[in-house]
Structure 1
Amino acid sequence: MKQRVAVLGLGIVGSRVRENLLEAGYEVTCWSRTFRDLDGEKSSAGEALADADLVSIYLKDVPMVREVFAQAKNSLKPGTLVINHSTIDLPTTLWLAEQCAAKACDFLDAPFTGSKEAAAAGQLLYYTGGDEELIGKVSDFLSVTSKGRVHCGEIGAATVTKLATNLISACTVQAMSEALVIAKKHGVDPEVFTKAAIQNGSGSPLMAMKYPTMLNGDFDPHFTMANMWKDSCYALALGESAGVKLPAISAVSTRMEQMCGNGAADLDFSALVKAYED
């Protein structure tokens, strides 16, 4: 018998995860702050997870995760496994683990990399933190929505890993934007430049994915500016708690904050290049 699953959060990724779980034969209840009139959708998060064996969280940020879980946790039955896939800060990950332990529930830290297309195709990559034996027990469940996982260590390690990798992505797209505008201002064909850059030693899958859409002015969100700015703030908090200065992500975070304030919050974070529009 398939486990009963509750999905909290039906945004770009959570909604597609739900569809894949249903197709795989899981009994799925769900909840989102915006009501979508879906099969199995409940009016509250507590109602959604009341009978669940497994809870998957895909909520937006720290305030939402804390608010929703604080309101819903009393509906958890002992023995339920709660898996957080939201990108949040380290203190909130540790708080979730404590809250679950107090309810005699298990907890795994499992943020992901991948966005709209990867979620739809069941090709996310999960970073996992927590008990490896427990992770092994839900490997089939995680495989429905992912192409694999990287175990990072104890609870919290996956959160740190996700924030650190997002730091790289944000700084890379800012560098891509600066390099592109320099090339254009000095008369280099943007198409030629991006072809050269992608094949350069500095080239990456991120560059190959983002440069074509940046050239076309296509900023349909795969990962929004607001979310990347949020994650940059969490990364800066990690640096502060470790006594480490992070000048690159600090500068990019400031730029993303400005662009969010100027109407780019819901665009893909590759809209960083729009700062250089004439």
Structure 2
Amino acid sequence: MPHSKHKKIGVIGLGIIGHGVTANLRRKGFPVFVWNRTPRPVPNFVGSPAELAALCDYIQIYVSDDKALLQTVNQLNEKLATRHIVIAHSTVAPDSMRAAAEIVEGRGARFVEAPFTGSKAAAEKGELVYYIGGNEGALREARAILEASSKEIIEIGEIGQATAIKIATNMITAASVQATAEALALVQALGVPLGKFVEAMQVNASYSTTLAMKMPKMIKRDFEPHFSVKHMLKDVQIANQLGLSRYIDLGVTAAACDRLLEQIQWGYGDDDYSAVARKYLPETGSTGYEEPQIGEQDEQAKGNAITGAVESFVGSDSTSSGQTESRPTRAPDSDKAKEATALRRGFLTQLLRRWRQLLKRPVSSKEV
């Protein structure tokens, strides 16, 4: 195996995680060069992703979403060669991860999918957990680099599968924190000290590392970002889209998504995702919680987002007669599957029509 410590590593994306990973790589003796969309006054900062690829053999990408990942690999593309291994850590849709791999491999370079679990503290301590997939040779060669910032590496399978695991685990994390916020509100409303609830949860089977980290901060309303609202919202939106495309009702995930979206609308997108507790736990000395007023434009934006999501599934040309433009779909396996698909499509078409009516209907004085 090549001695990876003798080769230069490029890190793209110096957010909470990328910054921590870079520090750990340097502590472990790796020569590291970095690039970030917003320039930073840090050592070995280069001018572009292409310049990074010209300098480095291994490139780790810690950008936030699908668009950023694909833009980054396209910017790298002209300088990629067979000597390169590109390691993508973004949480994106599986199709986006596969598209990024195709771009990289089209230049003869190798691609490793490596989304992770762990937030600010784990990145700083070198205790991330990576879910990895890709070519076996590339995985072996990249392992020493990943070990510099992790406590465990789990091989999942082919490109796209590790990303699916990451999305699924974040569904559970978001739902768990949302349920905790609601439970804290109920306990408090019933006059039980929140400290007693924490004590009870610590010996409850549903207690977790996430709750151990988040619950005390939620009670204190300490929402310093370790993993932001906007990034968790992006992940659960991906989950919702994947569920919709496969006719799976992800009701709990949808509810968690709504609460995260509220925080975005109220201007708290950069807070930690545990800020969903803000809705339920008033500030010290407050007698209750008052929701920020959402303007008409915000309501319209939310309506347009929901309309777009439903239209993307049922087809945008739904008519008043109830007919929907036919779209190519995966062939169902049986008559029952055909019937179920038709029922789902009909339900969503009705939902879309009803939502459009509600958006157009003026609010009566009785509803205010």
1:134 is displaced (CA, Å) by 2.7
What residue number does 2:123 align with? 119
The runs of 5 or more residues in structure 2 that have no matched partner are 283-288, 290-368
Paired residue secondary structure (2:266): helix
CA RMSD, aligned part only? Answer: 1.2
Q: Could you report, residue by residue, the CA deviation over 1:167-220 in whole angstroms, capped at 9, with x for unpaired residues?
A: 000000000001000000000001111221232121111111111111111111
1:71 is displaced (CA, Å) by 2.3
Q: Bigger shift: 147-156 or 7-16?
A: 147-156
What residue number does 1:70 align with? 74
What residue number does 2:140 align with? 136
Tell me how far apart the structure 1 counterparts of residues 91 and 202 of structure 2 sit (CA, whole Å): 28
Q: How does 1:206-221 map to 2 (within 5 A)?
A: 206-221=210-225
Tell me how far apart the structure 2 counterparts of residues 138 and 176 of structure 1 sit (CA, whole Å): 38
| Residue of structure 2 aligned with 1:22, choices 6, 19, 26 | 26
Q: How does 1:170-185 map to 2 (within 5 A)?
A: 170-185=174-189
Tell me how far apart the structure 2 counterparts of residues 70 and 137 of structure 1 sit (CA, whole Å): 23
1:3 is displaced (CA, Å) by 1.6
Percent identical pairs in the alignment equals 37
Check whether the contact 2:110–2:135 (CA below 8 A) recurs between aligned residues: no
Paired residue secondary structure (1:138): helix
Tell me how far apart the structure 2 counterparts of residues 139 and 33 of structure 1 sit (CA, whole Å): 27
Paired residue secondary structure (1:13): helix
Structure with greater contact order relative to length (CA < 8 Å, sep ≥ 6): 1
TM-score under structure 2 length normalisation:
0.73
What residue number does 1:235 align with? 239
What residue number does 2:14 align with? 10
Paired residue secondary structure (2:59): strand
Paired residue secondary structure (1:264): coil
What residue number does 1:160 align with? 164
Tell me how far apart the structure 2 counterparts of residues 261 and 75 of structure 1 sit (CA, whole Å): 40
Structure with max Cα Rg: 2
1:235 is displaced (CA, Å) by 1.0
The residue type equivalent to 2:38 in the other structure is: T
Tell me how far apart the structure 2 counterparts of residues 31 and 45 of structure 1 sit (CA, whole Å): 7
Check whether the contact 1:46–1:72 (CA below 8 A) recurs between aligned residues: yes
List structure 1 segments (4+ residues) > 6 angstroms apart after TM superposition: none
1:130 is displaced (CA, Å) by 1.5
